[in-house]
Amino acid sequence: MKKLMREGKNVALLPGGFNCAALFTTDRHRCFIKNRVGFIKYCLQFGYVVRPVYSFGEEKTYSTINLFESFRQQFLANNNLPPVWFYSRYGFMPNDSGEMITVVGDAIQLPKIEDPTREDVAKYHAIYMKSLVALFNDNKKEYCADPNAEIELE
């Protein structure tokens, strides 16, 4: 990824990874992002643009068994093992519960800082998270089954 960034290529990254999957809970909007700051550090080093992205409808795709969340986060997800038990009325195929809509937020142009400090990273990570929450709130009435839903950043 860093090689592509040095070359100025576009990259896409899901910062939550397996930890985001471990948080998946039916009918809740949860994102594992609070401690995922590395992508911001790299984007600062290379002066990249970041865009918050959220997919509505994913929370309806499966039913989940949400036992042992701490174990799933700390052992399974942190060791890159699939950390979620899910099912649907079609077995392992997703429910046909409606559309899944992905919305893309406004660009956040980051400055180029070759050696960003922890404070630099924290500042721009906070801006990213605020933009993600705004993106969710701006679009939930149109794309969310529950217009009063809240996004949970963990």
Which residue do the tokens 């994913």 mark?
Answer: 58
Are the C-beta atoms of residues 46 and 115 closer than 8 Å to each other?
no
Q: pLDDT value at position 139?
A: 96
Say what the pTM is: 0.81
Q: pLDDT value at position 146?
A: 87
In which residue ranges of the chain is pLDDT below 50? 87
For helices 118-143 and 38-46, the axis angle rounded to 10 degrees is 110
Strand partners, 121: none
Q: pLDDT value at position 83?
A: 54
Q: pLDDT value at position 39?
A: 95
